Structure 1
Amino acid sequence: MKRIAFLGCLALACCGKKPAGQAVYGPNCGICHHGGSGMPGETPPLVGRVDFIAQTPEGRHYLANVLLNGLRGRFTTQGYRYNYSMPAYRNRLTDQQIADTLNWLIARGNIKPSPTITPAEVASARAQQGDPAASYQERQLLEQKQPLP
């Protein structure tokens, strides 16, 4: 009987149980960003971009800030212009949920091995006050160092 229970747990991994980040992404981020591809000109894509941004500590800090504090401003990515406004999840998601969601998106990108964001990095960003405009300013500073995808 124990063996069957163990096999049942293995079956969940391949037969319907979503990774933690995907489970959080769906009802929070997926509403606008869909499966991660966004909607050109309306909602920016995430897959194939966040892995690139997460390669540096500054990029990981920015990504954590965007989820914690939201983002508001104009930018261009992948040839499309956005005048974007994203809500803050500071009071809705835990540090672990934010890290899981970002890591799920990062793993779907092209950078291998995939960079990762830790809950401790999210907690560090959470310890600082922020708002959507501050996240946008942080994006502008990152853009000056290296253009973001």
Structure 2
Amino acid sequence: MRVPLAFAPLLGLVLILAGCKEKPPGQKRYGPNCGICHHNGTGQTGEFPPLVGRLDVIARTPEGQKFLASVMINGLNGPIMANGARYNFAMPPFDRLRDDDLALILNWLIARGKTSPPPVMSPRIFQEARQAKIGPEKTRKLRLDLQKKGLIP
């Protein structure tokens, strides 16, 4: 069947829209806030550590969840090791985002890992991190302590 030339743009739009799926809320918030550096969660070797396949492992314990919340609220300064690679970077705090947005972002990333069922972070843990407000250097110390315990890949 031939489509009249006048209908070609409309048909193209219909086909494009038919293939579009609504992004999950966490992915929507991740893109403009985290995706700029961490890309699709894969990071960039030597620059920005990968998140997918690591955050689910970290979030398995209450200490790990507290650390992840602290990173989002306080930021984190390098150098760090992640998946055997060295990163020397400074992550800014994302305390401008609401607690439920932070939970959506991290839970979207955590769910993309291999842990089944994936751990779930509640907005409350970000609220607690806001109250503690420890800064990026103390957050780095939390990370080093968890790494010594083998809780951070």
TM range (shorter): 0.7 to 0.9
- Report the Cα offset of residue 16 of structure 1: 2.4
Match of 2:132 in 1: 128
Could you say if the C-alpha distance between residues 79 and 146 of structure 1 is closer, same or farther in structure 2, counting changes exceeding 3 Å? Answer: closer
Q: 1:68 aligns with which of 65, 73, 76?
A: 73
AA paired with 1:110? K
Match of 2:147 in 1: 143
- Report the Cα offset of residue 147 of structure 1: 4.7
Matches of 1:130 and 1:45, distance apart in 2:
24
Larger gyration radius, structure 1 or structure 2:
2
Gaps of 5+ in 1: 1-13
AA paired with 1:94? R
2:45 paired with 1:40: yes
Q: 2:26 aligns with which of 8, 14, 21?
A: 21
% of aligned pairs identical? 50
- Report the Cα offset of residue 79 of structure 1: 2.3
AA paired with 1:133? E
Matches of 1:15 and 1:101, distance apart in 2:
21
2:109 paired with 1:105: yes
CA contact (8 A) 2:38 2:49 kept: yes
Q: Deviations over 1:9-37 (max 9, x none)?
A: xxxxx942211111110000000000000
Task: Please list every run of at least 4 consecutive aligned residues from structure 1 whose deviation after the TM superposition is greater than 3 angstroms.
Answer: none
Matches of 2:121 and 2:83, distance apart in 1:
24
Q: Deviations over 1:81-118 (max 9, x none)?
A: 1112100011x200000000000000000000000000
TM-score (norm 1): 0.87
Could you say if the C-alpha distance between residues 120 and 65 of structure 1 is closer, same or farther in structure 2, counting changes exceeding 3 Å? Answer: same
AA paired with 1:83? N
How many residues get paired? 136
RMSD across aligned positions (CA): 1.5
CA contact (8 A) 2:55 2:113 kept: yes
SS in 2 for 1:124: helix
